[in-house]
Amino acid sequence: MRFSKRAGLLSALLLTSAAVLAQKISHFNVSPEKPAPGQTITVSYNPRGTVLENKGPVKMLILCNVNYRWKVSEISLQKKDSLWTVLYTVPDKAALITAKFKSGALTDDGGQATYSWFIQEPGKGNMPGGYMAWAHLRNKTLREYYPHFVNERALIGDSVVLFWYNQEMRYHPESRRHTFYPALKLLNTGQKERAKSAARREIPFMLGLPDVSEQELLQVAEVFRRVLSEPQRADSLEQVILSKYPKGILARDKEIFRLFIEPDIKKKEMGFQQFLADFPPEKFKELTTEAEELYYAKLIRGIVYTHIKNKDYEAFVRYLPLSPYSSMADYEYHVVELPMEQKFVTPEFILPYSNLIIGKLEILRKDNSGKEAALYAPSEWDSLVVSQNANSYFTHVAVLHQLNKDKEALKFALMIRDKFRYRNSEFNSTYVSLLEKNGRGSEVIPYIKNCAAENALTPEMIAALEADYRKTHKGGEGFDAYLSSLKSAKHAQEQKASLRSELIDLPIESFTLESLNGDTVSLDAQKGRIVILDFWATWCGPCKAAMPGMQLVVNKYKNDPGVQFYFIATQEAKPDYREQIRKFLQEKKYTFNVLYDKSGPAGNHLDDTYARYAKAFGFSGIPQKMIIDGNRRLRWRSTGYNGSPSALADEISFVIETLKQEHPGSDQ
């Protein structure tokens, strides 16, 4: 398939790129320079002048295009004088190999040039697929072919990709069936008429192949639909495919979608059992289709979660082995974290199921043979699994910690600690507790200080820091200044600048609401005071997560008559919500002045004040924090929770102090 004839400057530039592949890179060499498939070669790497200079040990991550498909592996290098070297056997049918070198967290990927070389077909030149692979290696438009392996500076445009396709076809006409779909897809992004012309020429060739595969026929159908805009011909070809491959890719995709939209859970589950018999998972383990990506995992989770609602975990146990990697984080949230948060289950009940999820993740991170891991070296895949599932591991840590299984909990906490980098206050607090439980108390204060720099502290961590401070400062004088000194000045400045930009000056209606103690509170009666409102609900996880930070700031201003906090319980649905609120406050030892929102005009929602303010100021969602100055003007508001009690307390404090400075001589 010939799409263009490039010459002149473009060709010269590309030939220069080819020269790079001829081993003109001082940091990197292979010997012999023109290796063949199956040949054992010597790879030499000189880190001088790179990020790996004077570093070690060094690993080589190897991306190899074999028979038009990417494969990744890694191998340790040996130090010899100033070079790192290794013997490497080129895989059979390999066409192009690209390397990058790693030591710890540092990587040298060769920059714009890359560390790549073509594999030679003995006596004939480059192996089939090499030019095509060289294009795909560096082009992000064709995302399903792009392996995410090289430096961003190495990327090339679509026109250059087409040049390399032409080179592939010039030297290897047998690659025509492999360039068919990606080349047309690329042309169709910007040169639609050329794409149509090429499609009409190439489709007869593809349909005439004596050994055409189902996947290639599906590509032809896609070209009919997307490139030629001929859906009828696409549909007709799909009928032929279904007839020829009744248990094939297309039939499987259609059954996945049919079961996904089936509303009857019993029919859905029975149908899925038949689906597994008709389309054995091992037969399709390396296949990825759009229907599978969109619906397969959701189909299984839909069945599982229906049973979970009834506290039936049998389906989860049965279907977990069939669930893709992408479902693991979702499972940990819906099967473990959410039921725990809602007190639907106990830690003792849920631990075996959390163990199953984490157990599968532990197996997956050591096995990069699955299709999700196909383009990652083993060490990269291991790190990626841990990073992508850090929250799942943390949920498991929390369950173990609640059951006093602190040694095991610390093992997983250490594994994910660097992912959070002191920035997650909930993890920080748990980690500090685990250090203490495991006899590693000497590590606690240094860790808390690092968390302080990120302003991600809980009240308990601040208390521990203050207790340590009092050992050398009798009476604790100067602790607040000491705590502030530990926080990043840059972060503090950025936070204050952001808060200044968020200040507003708007009139606000009054309210009159009943308090937890039976009193009546009116906003009108607070004139002259700075009033902080916090709209929350007992069912709202983020609302409750923010309360330790609010308690910090309530404590700070508890003796200040010019500052008043009100926590307005809104949108409560349970008949006994008042009693639930009392129990919650007593359990957590919060000293909040709680007000009860009233029913709205319709009389069926306890959200009158919230609804009026939401309409007036254009917001939705809780927690919703509002700060009103002494002239009863709304000066600041915020939706949600940023995750750090200390940062939230600083946020509220800064706005309060800013408003005080506006009227230094007033009662404020």
Which band of pLDDT confidence, cut at 50, 70 and 90, is reported for residue 369?
Answer: confident
What CATH number does the domain containing 554 carry? 3.40.30.10
Q: Record the tokens describing residue 157, joined without a space.
A: 């445009």
Number of domains in the chain: 2
* pLDDT of 164 strictly over 70: yes
Q: What is the mean pLDDT of residues 39-50?
A: 95
* pLDDT the model gives residue 607: 92
Q: Record the tokens describing residue 122, joined without a space.
A: 């003995």
Q: Is residue 413 part of a domain?
A: no
- pTM equals 0.86
* pLDDT of 30 strictly over 80: yes
| Contact assessment for residue 165 and residue 198, using Cβ atoms and an 8 Å cutoff | no
User: Could you read off the pLDDT of 293-308 as tens digits, one per residue?
Assistant: 999 999 999 999 999 9
What does the DSSP assignment read for 562-605? TEEEEEEE-S--STTHHHHHHHHHHHHT----EEEPPP-TTSS-
Residue where a domain terminates, one of 151, 171, 206: 151
Single-letter amino acid code for the residue at 432: V
Sign (positive/negative) of CA torsion 547, 553, 556, 558? Answer: negative
**At how many degrees (to 10) do helices 158-171 and 176-188 cross?**
160
Q: Is residue 609 part of a domain?
A: yes
Single-letter amino acid code for the residue at 373: A
Which band of pLDDT confidence, cut at 50, 70 and 90, is reported for residue 15?
Answer: very low
Single-letter amino acid code for the residue at 425: S
Residue where a domain terminates, one of 151, 169, 203: 151
* pLDDT the model gives residue 286: 83
Q: Is residue 125 part of a domain?
A: yes
Question: Cβ atoms within 10 A of the Cβ of 493, count?
Answer: 10
Q: What is the mean pLDDT of residues 70-82?
A: 93
* pLDDT the model gives residue 605: 77
User: Could you read off the pLDDT of 325-354 as tens digits, one per residue?
Assistant: 999 999 999 999 999 988 889 999 999 999
| Contact assessment for residue 220 and residue 206, using Cβ atoms and an 8 Å cutoff | yes
* pLDDT the model gives residue 13: 40
* pLDDT of 19 strictly over 50: no
- Tell me if the bond preceding 575 is cis, omega within 30° of 0: no
Q: Is residue 367 part of a domain?
A: no
Which band of pLDDT confidence, cut at 50, 70 and 90, is reported for residue 79?
Answer: very high
* pLDDT of 598 strictly over 80: yes
* pLDDT of 540 strictly over 80: yes
Q: In terms of C-beta distances under 8 Å and separation of at least 24 residues, what long-range contacts does 17-22 make, across chains too?
A: 20/113, 20/114, 20/116, 21/116, 21/117, 21/118, 21/134
* pLDDT the model gives residue 665: 53
User: Could you read off the pLDDT of 482-503 as tens digits, one per residue?
Assistant: 999 999 999 899 999 999 999 9
* pLDDT the model gives residue 664: 63
Q: Record the tokens describing residue 177, joined without a space.
A: 């069936």
Q: Is residue 458 part of a domain?
A: no
User: Could you read off the pLDDT of 398-444 as tens digits, one per residue?
Assistant: 999 999 999 999 999 999 999 999 999 999 999 999 999 999 999 99
Q: Which residues pair with 45 in a beta bridge?
A: 28, 84
* pLDDT of 5 strictly over 50: no
Question: Cβ atoms within 10 A of the Cβ of 399, count?
Answer: 23
Higher pLDDT, 139 or 475: 139
* pLDDT of 179 strictly over 90: yes
Q: Is residue 534 part of a domain?
A: yes
Q: Quote the domain boundaries for residue 520.
A: 498-662
What CATH number does the domain containing 143 carry? 2.60.40.1930
Which band of pLDDT confidence, cut at 50, 70 and 90, is reported for residue 24?
Answer: very low
Q: What is the mean pLDDT of residues 445-453?
A: 97
Q: Is residue 410 part of a domain?
A: no
DSSP one-letter code for 344: S
Cα(521)–Cα(323) distance, integer angstroms: 54
**What is the percent of the chain where pLDDT is above 90?**
85
* pLDDT the model gives residue 25: 52
- Report how far Cα 347 is from the mean position of its chain's Cα atoms: 26
Please report which helix (H) or strand (E) contains residue 520, including its range: strand 520-522
Residue where a domain terminates, one of 135, 151, 167: 151
Cα(549)–Cα(458) distance, integer angstroms: 7
Q: Is residue 481 part of a domain?
A: no
